Structure 1
Amino acid sequence: ALTRLAADLCARVDVLERLGLGYLTLERSTPTLSPGELQRLRLATQLYSNLFGVVYVLDEPSAGLHPADTEALLSALDRLKAGGNSLFVVEHEPGVIRHADWIVDVGPHAGQHGGQVLYSGPPAGLRDVPDSLTARHLFGPPAPLPGVRRDPTGWLDLSGVTRNNLRGVDVRLPLGVLTAVTGVSGSGKSSLITQALADLLGGHLGREIAPVEAGVDPADLLTADDAPAPTQGSLGGDVGRVRRLVQVTQAPIGRTPRSNLATYTGLFDHVRRLFAATPLARERRYSAGRFSFNVKGGRCEHCQGEGFVTVELLFLPSVYAPCPVCHGTRFNAATLEVTWQGLNIAQILNLTVDAAAQEFADEAPVHRALSTLQEVGLGYLRLGQPATELSGGEAQRVKLATELQKAVRGHTVYLLDEPTTGLHPSDVERLHAQLSRLVDAGHTVMVVEHDLGVIAASDWVVDLGPGAGEDGGQIVAQGTPEQVARASGSRTAPYLRRELDGHAQPAPT
């Protein structure tokens, strides 16, 4: 009996190791796991079950995975397929898409400009679909790399850093450039940048680090036993040059539907002032507050500006229905009589960013906010779209756009943890362009990243590893992407070298 139990235990552990989760301790609580780790854990359960005839639906399983871990994931998916199962995978990673037997491409763009099935068939056939952005990235030439790498303007020296699996780590991080921090999943990247560096630099600036969002701190979900230990170590070098620290996370930009794109970016304040300045509003003595759905006066009091009402059903879940008074507009009838350029305030909130940019072309404060949202690829979102409906990647880009429109004085260090998660390659290119804008303006950007295109286009790379968990937490290599690509002992180096070689070769015909 003991032999059978031991064999069963070894088989379960073997599945976890093949999925790259061998570094996790058995008592590790699930709230401390990343979404990618949780998804692979569930996948391991299915692999061990040996079921057949099952339809599996996976939503971006490669999110947050190093290329080496992605290969292990593809092997696991192949095993499920070989067992007589069907797999439907929503995915952005080109390597995973190329591995598929069948591709369904949806587009051509996002939001109201998408929703069409452009292609359904074997991968090779996608090449002949001219409207497909996916085809351009699978079969077209790679995005050009920077002609010249930026040189650091200073250095931050971290000494004796101890946090999670980092044990007495010493590292120099450059200022004034775009730095990619790489390594396999669980190697200590986030521990170094978004925890240790954020703690030490935030402490130097005389305050606790506050992420630029009004969301729930993931640490609130942890018990006292799960909460990470404080960072140990010291920070030196040119730290005196840094005036501001901004950590852009994928946490929601608001906890309730009352928070939306317009309110978070601040453009709604300008819009309400425009409405208050119209002749009818001045005649009725309406202030800018009249055009807010969060306070009494202009909002619909039946739904209190929510736009919907809750219908309680006996023995069934509650149902949300449009407000029968305002019909979902959130405002009362008198407020909606006031128009600007022929549109009332509810119609303005229902505009997409792209449409609003045309309407407000002559209003500089509003247009500036809208144009930055367009530049990060969010032109398809509606101004009044509730914050709770935004994905993590969309929320992060909203925060980035909000930062881009500010007139920032003094050297700022921006920290981003896997900003390309959930992004199509075309959106990744846009994101990289905006990060480069921040660097060109004299700031520092550090990203924890797995996307090889972003890593290859960075000015500096810090690679952690060599493995995960107890086998990680060390600086394996650092330097320009070309230098790290030649580093021995780095699991990132072979993939980065292949990426750089692909840029050097002529595009496939």
Structure 2
Amino acid sequence: MTAQITIRGARLHNLKNISLSIPKNQLVVLTGVSGSGKSTLGLDILFKEGQRQYLESFGLITYGVSKPPVDAITGLSPTISVDQHLTNHSPRSTVGTATEVYTYLRVLYARLGHRPCPTCGKDISPSFDSSDAEWAGEAGVDEDDSAPEGTFPCPQCGAPIPELGMAHFSFNKPDGACPTCTGLGVVHHANLKRLIDETRSIRDGAVLGWDDFQTDFHIPVLQTGAAYYGFAFDPAQPVREFNPPLRDYFLYGVESPIFRRHFPGIEPPPTVRQGRFEGIATNLLRRYAEHIQDPDYREKVEELLIIQECPDCHGTRLRPESRAVTVNGANIVELSRRSLGEIDDWLAGLPAVFTPDEMLIASSILADLKERIARLVEVGAGYLTLDRSSPTLSAGEAQRLRLAALLGSGLSGLLYVFDEPTIGLHQRDTRRMIDVMRRLRDLGNTVLVIEHDLETIAAADYVIDFGPGAGKNGGQVVAAGTPAEVAACPESLTGQYLAGRISIPVPPRRRQPNGRAITIRGARQHNLQNITVRLPLGLLIAVTGVSGSGKSSLVFDVLDRALRQRFYGAGGDAPGEHDSIDGCEYLDKVVTIDQEPIGRIPRSNAATYSDTFSAIRAAFAAEPEARRLGLTARHFSFNVPGGRCERCEGAGVLTVKMHFLPDVEVRCPACHGRRFTRETLSVRYRGRDISEALEMTVEEALALFQNVPAARSRLQVLADVGLGYLQLGQPATTLSGGEAQRVKLAKELGRRGTGRTLYLLDEPTTGLHLADIARLLGVLQRLVDSGNTVLVVEHNLELVKTADWVIDLGPEGGAAGGRLIAEGTPEQVAQTSGSYTGRYLKELL
């Protein structure tokens, strides 16, 4: 009898008291339409309970990790989750630091680097005592990471040379970081156009961020300071008429070198009341620096900044003396800009150039580096460069870096739970990912994969299909067995697609270009090879290519940022390198729909974000009982005082601090989790109160609010983009990246279009079953039929085959990518030799 994990009576979220057995030591796929319950079983039940039982077995207190509502789970193993959450938002973290590849390179450069003597300019070879070389090699990366003190004489001229340590090659330590940018590689300037309206005076609100109180507070300070330095200041004078000293005082403050050059011999006033003004731009930059680790604050302030490459280190992050050190002719900065695959080739050439003594030190470092890089290449991350910032990684890329670390462990007897590992992978790399998961299985582990990709489902040992629908219509096991057995099951929607009985149809005829186009000329951002790309307008366009081929650089770094700057004067990051963009006059706006969260607080949800909740509150406020009680739409909001429960402030739960343990959320004892006062809850719309309305799914609410046009239209769009299963009040913090993106898309669709909009979407099929992709395609085609242009960066060939126009980049990722491989209809791309996308499209068409 084969070993198995047995679950009896699972009732979490929409699971309908299900019981099932999962074979152990196999590759098992959980599938089903979006919202059918597969993630609930895989992540919320099996992963969390596996963790809880494992901690309990050590005698550790598992308070805060509650047992899920299940009658029994037996046969569970210690569990590891490989999910899609990007956890590192620090701008100081890179692919190199996160994978430790850069750490090993720092050891290599500190021990074996050549550098020029700062006095005579001649080469100084690495100096070490060969008697302790073997010990030094074994020290690896565990050595003390502080910079060594002391100097040694230059062998050529005798001048004192400071010793180098690992810290000199770290941009996160003062010994190695460029002093101008403190190792960030970029410098920030205030975007004055977004801070100040220069046509107005300070009295009339020239400072866009000041209210009346702040204006009244600062005017006397500015007057006192002007008198202190002896120049005139009139609060009624427009800012554009300020003379240079006054302008620099106002913008940069008394302590800035820009202002002090006007009065080099005068000490600044000692207090604010005496005229010690900080300066509008200086204040903004100080606040940004203080909150650099807070992603929410950083994102908000970056809209007011211009971010530019550091003029001293040119984005390399390191001091000049660290950049001067080379190993085999390359410095550590050049190496960091190469892809992992290219670094692997470079490392292979080192034994030929090192002396036997140098190899004693290098051999263990090279062996560790080769092994780490091989794992990263195997999981499809070989195109990434070491200097790539961690916050810029997609969720799929971050997941693959974590997977590479797991491959190095060699553990067996575990349960791995993967959350859609093929997200962000080209069809070519999906096969490689399947091989990696099989390798984990062959080590004696159970690999559980939540997945929609047909190739992955077909490659599984065992498939469990959830459904039949989403939300309250799901939560049941529709079919379970081998891929062939599931394909033969007529009740299984996944099985129908697997067997080919249902498929997304290729359009009978594609739209033709109308002669209008956006042309991006000379795109050179990241790995783009000075390419010129023409985007015909009025079509559904798919930008394709293997991971790292340059798709996001072209669409989001170059096109999106340039159009935002043109249409909205957007600050933040400057557009990626390019010569020009023609054809902007054919558009009046650009809408970018990415996978960033729609809210970082639990109070935000799909209903509030899409403006659906406003119409629902108005419907409740219009009821006779609400009018009798004097309740307005405001009383039906849980975000403002009035009708909400004030004990929990409308959250429905109270957070209890547990000191050394995780905080625990308990149901509010005053409203019993219902969020509102008894008076507000007494108002009912067609038999439901406002709390019950928030617990309904989009599909259920659509039926209830059929006679409220403003609510019905928005709910219909949410259903059209495949979110019919979503609860109206589900916190935004619990939505996946794909769900957040579809909520944003629904909000945009709810607005009145102009027919001249460019929509940019980043892998909109993420997290969608084929049946849901078919619905999403209907929505996108509707946008194009209204005269708009929809451009999707996408790997999913089911969507690509339905596009009017395809732009394929490649041929590989990293430095071997960034070229235009093919453009035209899917049929034309399918005939292009050298296009990986074309090769797989050919099979599909």
TM-score norm. by structure 1 comes to 0.91
In structure 2, what is the Cα distance between the partners aligned to 1:278 and 1:57?
48
Correspondence for 2:509: 148
In structure 2, what is the Cα distance between the partners aligned to 1:317 and 1:52?
30
Listed as ranges, the matches of 1:87-486 within 5 Å are: 87-139=447-499, 140-153=501-514, 154-208=516-570, 230-486=575-831
Listed as ranges, the matches of 1:40-79 within 5 Å are: 40-79=400-439
Amino acid aligned to 1:204? R
User: Displacement, 1:335?
Assistant: 1.1
Amino acid aligned to 1:264? Y
Q: Is the 8 A contact 1:156 1:235 kept in 2?
A: no
Correspondence for 1:212: none
Partner SS state of residue 457, structure 1: coil
In structure 2, what is the Cα distance between the partners aligned to 1:235 and 1:141?
45
* Structure 1, gaps ≥5 residues long: 210-218, 220-227, 501-509
User: Displacement, 1:5?
Assistant: 4.4
Indicate how the Cα distance of structure 1 residues 16 and 141 shifts in structure 2: closer, same or farther if over 3 A, else same. Answer: same
Higher alpha-carbon deviation: 177-186 or 339-348: 339-348
Q: Is the 8 A contact 2:512 2:804 kept in 1?
A: yes
Percentage of matched positions with identical amino acids: 49
Higher alpha-carbon deviation: 420-429 or 15-24: 15-24
In structure 2, what is the Cα distance between the partners aligned to 1:174 and 1:93?
30
In structure 2, what is the Cα distance between the partners aligned to 1:336 and 1:53?
52
Amino acid aligned to 1:433? G
In structure 2, what is the Cα distance between the partners aligned to 1:291 and 1:345?
7
Indicate how the Cα distance of structure 1 residues 8 and 350 shifts in structure 2: closer, same or farther if over 3 A, else same. Answer: closer
Indicate how the Cα distance of structure 1 residues 70 and 201 shifts in structure 2: closer, same or farther if over 3 A, else same. Answer: same
Q: Is the 8 A contact 1:361 1:367 kept in 2?
A: yes
Higher alpha-carbon deviation: 318-327 or 51-60: 51-60
Partner SS state of residue 382, structure 2: coil
Provide Cα deviations, 1:335-356, integer angstroms capped at 9, x if missing partner. Answer: 1112222222112222211111
Amino acid aligned to 1:181? V
Indicate how the Cα distance of structure 1 residues 315 and 10 shifts in structure 2: closer, same or farther if over 3 A, else same. Answer: closer
The structure that has the greater radius of gyration is 2
User: Displacement, 1:55?
Assistant: 2.8
Provide Cα deviations, 1:402-460, integer angstroms capped at 9, x if missing partner. Answer: 22222212400000011111111111111111111100111000000000110011000
In structure 1, what is the Cα distance between the partners aligned to 2:505 and 2:657?
56
Amino acid aligned to 2:530? G
Q: Is the 8 A contact 1:194 1:416 kept in 2?
A: no
Indicate how the Cα distance of structure 1 residues 479 and 203 shifts in structure 2: closer, same or farther if over 3 A, else same. Answer: same
Partner SS state of residue 548, structure 2: coil
In structure 2, what is the Cα distance between the partners aligned to 1:271 and 1:80?
50
Provide Cα deviations, 1:98-148, integer angstroms capped at 9, x if missing partner. Answer: 011111111112222111122221111112323322112111242211111
Q: Is the 8 A contact 1:200 1:234 kept in 2?
A: no
Partner SS state of residue 792, structure 2: strand
Partner SS state of residue 383, structure 2: coil
Partner SS state of residue 271, structure 1: helix
Correspondence for 2:111: none
In structure 1, what is the Cα distance between the partners aligned to 2:629 and 2:387?
65
User: Displacement, 1:175?
Assistant: 0.5
Higher alpha-carbon deviation: 72-81 or 62-71: 72-81
Cα RMSD (Å) of the superposition? Answer: 1.8
Higher alpha-carbon deviation: 14-23 or 263-272: 14-23
In structure 1, what is the Cα distance between the partners aligned to 2:683 and 2:727?
21
User: Displacement, 1:50?
Assistant: 3.2
Give aligned pairs, total: 483
Partner SS state of residue 462, structure 1: strand
Indicate how the Cα distance of structure 1 residues 470 and 81 shifts in structure 2: closer, same or farther if over 3 A, else same. Answer: same
In structure 2, what is the Cα distance between the partners aligned to 1:19 and 1:345?
48
In structure 2, what is the Cα distance between the partners aligned to 1:388 and 1:280?
34
User: Displacement, 1:29?
Assistant: 4.4
User: Displacement, 1:486?
Assistant: 1.0
Amino acid aligned to 2:626? A
Listed as ranges, the matches of 1:3-82 within 5 Å are: 3-82=363-442
In structure 2, what is the Cα distance between the partners aligned to 1:347 and 1:26?
50
Indicate how the Cα distance of structure 1 residues 168 and 120 shifts in structure 2: closer, same or farther if over 3 A, else same. Answer: same
Provide Cα deviations, 1:226-245, integer angstroms capped at 9, x if missing partner. Answer: xx774222444432110111
Q: Is the 8 A contact 1:179 1:460 kept in 2?
A: yes
Q: Is the 8 A contact 2:522 2:580 kept in 1?
A: no
Provide Cα deviations, 1:39-79, integer angstroms capped at 9, x if missing partner. Answer: 22222233333333333221111111001111111222222
TM-score norm. by structure 2 comes to 0.55
Amino acid aligned to 1:250? Q
Q: Is the 8 A contact 2:603 2:639 kept in 1?
A: yes
> Does 1 or 2 have the higher relative contact order (CA < 8 Å, sep 6+)?
1
